[in-house]
């Protein structure tokens, strides 16, 4: 029988804060103390206590991710630097000077996602994060991954400007490099599927010897939290013309910025349903 994730083991449950004896005590309490030992409960139940038993049921528990990833913290930083890529000194001339300058540059974005705190139980799903680290990328990573998942893109742009340098002016073009780095911490909860059951038996309780008990409701929704780190680096360029006037004044004209802006993704949570704490087994005379 396949399910939404790996089948839960007692080790998984212990890693979620419920050791086998603790779980037994809670289940037995809900059954009115009718269980008679640890052997009266089982996970991974397809057909339990087969020898001489009339009990037939399929009660399972599965490990799954719970809800969607959420941002636990983020930060960003901008580093700007500039360099002169063209200059003309017309300060000693009485006539204007005209020229055409062509500039080619490359904008790039890189984003990465890695798991910093892994799950304490076995999982088989993947986690998808939109807008990783404030970038334009959505990245998917397996819950058992020990590697960093990376995406990157770059595009080349080219622009020509017609430049007029007036008499007495000195004009230069500055290339402005902007490096924006971002980092975000994401939390992802994990636990048991909403319909997870543990099989129990014992003395008759409420008309039945066998009960499948909903683990989440009985054990207060055992869960843990994974942590992921998303990082991004965006490198982009803008250009400006600086005019040095004969009287010493400086005039700065910013040219249109490169196309393309990153957008941030939004994360939303999910809500769970409410179930009763147990269901009876199917018994034969």
**Closest Cα partner for 43 from 88, 6, 97, 69?**
6
Q: What are the structure tokens assigned to 171, written together?
A: 């004009």
- Mean pLDDT computed over 77-104: 95
Rg of the Cα atoms in the chain? 32
Which pLDDT score, from 0 to 100, does residue 265 have? 27
Residue 258 has pLDDT above 50, yes or no: no
Handedness of CA 33, 38, 39, 41 (dihedral sign): positive
Handedness of CA 151, 138, 194, 22 (dihedral sign): positive
Residue 197 CA to residue 15 CA, distance in Å, equals 17
**Closest Cα partner for 209 from 223, 195, 199, 222?**
199
Contact between 229 and 185 (Cβ < 8 Å): yes
Residue 248 has pLDDT above 50, yes or no: yes
Residue 282 has pLDDT above 90, yes or no: no
Residue 169 CA to residue 87 CA, distance in Å, equals 11
Q: What are the structure tokens assigned to 190, written together?
A: 């994990």
pTM for the whole thing? 0.79
Secondary structure letter of residue 45 according to DSSP: B
Interval 42-66: pLDDT, tens: 987 555 444 445 455 578 899 999 9
Instruction: State percent of the chain over pLDDT 70.
Output: 84
């Amino acid at each position: 029988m396949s399910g939404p994730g790996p089948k839960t083991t007692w080790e998984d449950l212990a890693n979620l804060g419920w050791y086998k004896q603790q779980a037994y005590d809670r289940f037995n309490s809900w059954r009115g103390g009718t269980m008679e030992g640890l052997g009266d409960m089982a996970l991974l139940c397809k057909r339990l206590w087969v020898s001489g038993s009339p009990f037939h049921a399929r009660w399972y528990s599965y490990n799954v991710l719970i809800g969607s990833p959420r941002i636990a913290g983020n930060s960003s930083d901008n580093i700007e630097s500039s360099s002169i890529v063209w200059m003309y000194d017309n300060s000693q001339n009485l006539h204007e000077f005209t020229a055409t300058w062509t500039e080619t540059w490359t904008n790039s974005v890189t984003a990465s996602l890695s798991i910093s705190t892994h799950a304490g139980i076995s999982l088989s799903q993947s986690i998808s994060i939109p807008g990783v680290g404030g970038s334009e990328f959505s990245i998917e990573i397996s819950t058992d991954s020990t590697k960093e998942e990376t995406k990157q893109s770059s595009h080349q742009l080219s622009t020509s400007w017609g430049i007029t340098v007036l008499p007495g002016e000195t004009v230069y073009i500055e290339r402005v490099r902007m490096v924006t780095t971002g980092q975000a911490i994401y939390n992802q909860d994990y636990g048991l599927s909403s319909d997870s059951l543990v099989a129990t038996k014992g003395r008759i309780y409420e008309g039945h010897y066998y009960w499948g008990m909903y683990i989440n409701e009985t054990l207060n929704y055992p869960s843990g939290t994974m942590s992921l780190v998303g990082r991004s680096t965006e490198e982009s360029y803008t250009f400006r013309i600086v005019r040095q006037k004969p009287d010493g004044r400086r005039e700065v004209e910013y040219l249109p910025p490169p196309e393309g802006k990153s957008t941030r993704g939004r994360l939303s949570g999910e809500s769970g349903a409410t179930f009763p704490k147990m269901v009876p087994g199917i018994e034969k005379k």
